[in-house]
Each structure stands twice: as structure tokens, then as C-alpha cells.
Amino acid sequence: MSAMETQLPTLVIVGRPNVGKSTLFNRVLGEQQAIVEDRPGVTRDRKELEAEWLGVPFRVIDTGGWMPRGSDLDDKVSRQVEAAVQEADLVLFVVDASVGILEEDEAVANWLRRGDHEVIVVANKADNNQREEQLWQFLSLGLGEAIPVSALHGRRAGDLLDVVLERFGDKAVANEPTEGAWTGDVEIEAPDAPRVAIVGRPNVGKSTLFNRLVGEDRSVVHDMAGTTRDAIDTIVETEDGPIVFVDTAGMRRRSRIDDSAEYYSMVRALRAIDDADVALLVIDATEGVTGQDQRLAERVDASGCPIVVLLNKWELIDDPDHRIEIEAGVKRKLAFLGDVPVLKISALTGKNVHKLRPRLQEAITQYHRRVPTKDVNKVIADAQQQSPAGGGAKVLFAVQGATDPPTFTLFVNRELPQHHVRYLERRIREEFEFGSTPIKLRIRKKS
């Protein structure tokens, strides 16, 4: 270990089993490096890793395991905590806001009160406001006010890390920003740049692709705290202007993701797409479209975000018949997405990755596009003339009320049959060449 490393301020996470220490640990690291399962005491080993917040590096230790049952509780607790906090500059004492204080929590608190460690009480599983209102109860632990977080959902994780840095005081020293990259505590304004999320199951090649996209441009890369604070967004300056890659935290570090952590990468992905203008859905061509890919695709689609599908690791598929089979499988299993672009790439070799940029730009342009009202009404009128809704129902007036995605409001005299609504949507899509961009139709009855 280098001299530099030994000087890093150290954060130690303690608490009884099942309060969410490992989940919090992973959250702090911005990725899922430990396996978390829904039973007490799964994470037995002490985990130690280096993390960084706003450019300040620090060490995090998750104490994980718990002494075997049978011995006296206080004794058991003290031995575990004692060993763990020896190296701590700051202790995160995690309690569970969904169950309140248990005897074991009190035992940990008793021990911590006797020492002279800096302690922050963290009320985890504060998933909603109601739970936050219950926080007063933790004052009785005698260690100050509890800070609410939801490690699982990322709620307030950034706020907690802000407090951690504050409490480290002088021990927290920001890294020198390296040339061309900012990881420092300089908040930069998010420009009005398109926001792109790279989503997909673990190991499909997201990090490899990200690195290739970022590396391909001999350009400046900035990091900035994302809108959710604990996310890391990366701005890449390209020839066509800047692009923001949303929530790339998990891709900045080499990740060793296990299948059992798939769920967490889903959670990350879902947060990212809500923030994005376009989603790159990466699929491992060697595995084809799995059930989880389908669920992810459904969710991206529901968010209204345009999608570009990337069939990655394509260079591994040599057999022409196999290639045809895979493509057909993708078409069939992702049929619900409509006519989305599908690119066959190799993030590893870089093959066809250059084709991505124009598709991305196209999808983003369409997503932000606004069609003049008179043109919308002309298309609707023509469509209804060619094929009336029947029963005297018709659209009286139409307008594109919103972009991102393009959303059209149709004022009608009476309810339109579903098939007619779909017909109008198709006509709008075709006439204005929206391509694969999701569009929304709202029907309003004129009163």
C-alpha cells in the first residue's frame, strides 16, 4: 500500500445484520461489488475499498459479518465493532428506519457512546417521507440526529456523502484534477446537451462501449455530479457538440458484477433512463435477447425514451446462419418496440461503433422535434378523409402539445375507436418521418 493510500480518511460502516450495510457500501461505491441477498448476515467478509466523492478519495470498510450466536450480546457486539472501528476516522452507524430500534442497535450504540469516535447515525430504508418522519426515535441512541437514506433506491445518498466529507474535515483532500478530466469539487453547469443512457444487463459490454465512445473522441471529458447527486454524468465534447452520458458511475471503474447483482444494475439503469433523451440498449449477441433484456426494453419504452438497440460482441458470431437466426430473434422478441434501429457492433474491436453517432443524433433530433399545428391538422384531416373513424366520430383539432417525446393532443367530438387511434398514430409517424421515435397521442373530448 502506498503512503498516499494509508493516509486516506477512513469510513467504517457498522450496524446489526440486515440494516442494509452492504447495500449502503455498494451505493457509496456507485456500483455493486458485493453480493447482497435478502437474508441476514449474508455478507460475512469485511470489505474494504476506495471510493471518491466530489473528487475526495476515501477508504470505506464494511464490517459485514457478525459474531456467531450464543455469546453475550454486548460482548459479541463490542468485539466486532471494536476491531472494525480501530481504523475509523468516521463511523457510519446504520439503523433500519423501517423497523426502529432493536436491542442489538442499542448494544452497538452503548459501545459507540463509550468511545471517542466520530459517529454519524444513518437511518437506512427511509424509502419515503413517512419513514423520514419517524426519525426522532433514533435520538434516543444518544449519538445525535440520524440522517435518512435509502441505500437501495439511492435516495439522499448524495446528501449523506456531503455530510461525510464535512465530518472528515481536514482529512478530506481532493485529488488534483488530471489534465482534461474533472473529478474535482467544481460544479459545472449541465449544458443543454443531449443526454444518453447506456443500459443493459451486466457483462453485455456497456463499460467497454462507454470507454470506446469516450476514447474515440480526442476530446475533453468532464465529470459532474448528476441530477440525483450520487450519479456520475460524463460530458463528452464531440464534433456535433457535447453529449452527456447519464449515470456512468458504474462504468468508470472495472466492475466485477455477479449475476445475483443483476437487479441492482437494473435499478441503476432505470434511474438513468428517466434522465435521458435516448437510451442505448446493449444486448449480448452471443446470448440473444433474454427475458431480462425484454423487461428492460419494456421499461425504457414506457419511459418514452427513444431506443437504439446495439447487438454487441457481434464479431464472435461467425456462422452466417447463426447471424440470421440471432437477428430474427431480436426482431421477434423486441417487436413491441416497433421499428427501432438495431446496430451490430463490437465494442471490443470498435467495429461499426462509428455508425452509432449519426443514429444517436437522429433519435435525439426527432425526440425534440416540434411539428407546426397547421401541418398536424392537415395530416389528420387527410387521414380521416381516406379512412373515417365511423359513427360520426372525428378529430376536430390537433396540436403537438409537447416534445420529448413528441406528444399530440387530438380534440374529438366523441370517443374514437382504438384501431382508429392507432391508425392516426401511424399516419403521423409516417408523414412526419418520426422513424422509431416514440410518440404519444392524447385524446380529449371537446366539451
Question: Counting beta carbons within 10 angstroms of the beta carbon of residue 397, is it exposed (0 to 12), middle (13 to 18) or buried (19 or more)?
Answer: middle
| Least Cβ distance, residue 300 to ligand GDP (angstroms) | 15
Residue 207 or 234: the one with the smaller Cβ distance to ligand GDP is 207
Helices and strands (DSSP H and E) totals, the chain: 14, 17
Residue in 78, 80, 312, 366 binding ligand GDP, rule: CB under 6 A: 312
Residue in 32, 33, 80, 150 binding ligand GDP, rule: CB under 6 A: 150
Inter-residue contact 403 to 370 (CB < 8 Å): yes
The grid coordinates of residue 309 equal: 438497440
Q: Which stretch binds ligand GDP (CB under 6 A): 72-80, 180-188, 309-317, 433-441?
A: 309-317
| Least Cβ distance, residue 265 to ligand GDP (angstroms) | 7
Distance CA 430, CA 319 (A): 36
313 touches ligand GDP by CB under 6 A = yes
Inter-residue contact 111 to 81 (CB < 8 Å): yes
Q: What is the footprint of ligand GDP within residues 207-246 (CB under 6 A)?
A: 207-208
Residue 240 is assigned to a ligand binding site: no
| Least Cβ distance, residue 370 to ligand GDP (angstroms) | 35
Residue in 47, 59, 125, 195 binding ligand GDP, rule: CB under 6 A: 125
Return the bridge partners of 312, or none.
284
| Least Cβ distance, residue 297 to ligand GDP (angstroms) | 15
Distance CA 270, CA 275 (A): 9
Element (H, E) at 323: helix 320-333
**CA dihedral (149, 21, 292, 200) positive or negative:** positive
The grid coordinates of residue 238 equal: 464531440
Radius of gyration of the chain (CA): 26
| Least Cβ distance, residue 329 to ligand GDP (angstroms) | 18
Q: x-or-dash pattern for ligand GDP, window 384-423, by CB under 6 A?
A: ----------------------------------------
Inter-residue contact 200 to 281 (CB < 8 Å): yes
Inter-residue contact 328 to 289 (CB < 8 Å): no
Q: Which stretch binds ligand GDP (CB under 6 A): 313-321, 359-367, 373-381, 386-394?
A: 313-321
Residue in 347, 360, 412, 428 binding ligand GDP, rule: CB under 6 A: 347
The grid coordinates of residue 347 equal: 465494442
Residue in 9, 158, 194, 205 binding ligand GDP, rule: CB under 6 A: 205
Q: Is 238 helix (H, G, I), strand (E, B) or coil?
A: strand
Give CA separation, 293 vs 196, 239, 300, 314, 381, in Å: 18, 32, 10, 17, 39
Residue in 8, 10, 18, 60 binding ligand GDP, rule: CB under 6 A: 18
Residue in 3, 6, 38, 321 binding ligand GDP, rule: CB under 6 A: 38
Residue 313 or 429: the one with the smaller Cβ distance to ligand GDP is 313
Instruction: List, in order, residues 6 or more apart from 257 with CB less than 8 Å away.
Output: 31, 32, 33, 202, 203, 265
Amino acid occupying residue 318: D
Residue 126 is assigned to a ligand binding site: yes
268 touches ligand GDP by CB under 6 A = no
Residue 142 is assigned to a ligand binding site: no
Q: x-or-dash pattern for ligand GDP, window 43-72, by CB under 6 A?
A: x-----------------------------
> Which residue, 410, 420, 411, 399, is CA-closest to 446?
411
Distance CA 19, CA 151 (A): 10
| Least Cβ distance, residue 206 to ligand GDP (angstroms) | 3
Distance CA 99, CA 384 (A): 59
33 touches ligand GDP by CB under 6 A = no
Residue 206 is assigned to a ligand binding site: yes
Residue in 56, 151, 326, 389 binding ligand GDP, rule: CB under 6 A: 151
| Least Cβ distance, residue 132 to ligand GDP (angstroms) | 12
Omega before residue 242 within 30° of 0, cis: no
- Length of the chain in residues, anyone? 447
Contacts to ligand GDP by CB under 6 A? 15, 17-23, 36, 38, 41-43, 124-125, 127, 150-152, 200, 202-208, 251, 255, 257, 312-313, 315-316, 346-348
- What residues form the annotated binding site? 15-22, 62-66, 124-127, 200-207, 247-251
- What residues form the annotated binding site for GTP? 15-22, 62-66, 124-127, 200-207, 247-251
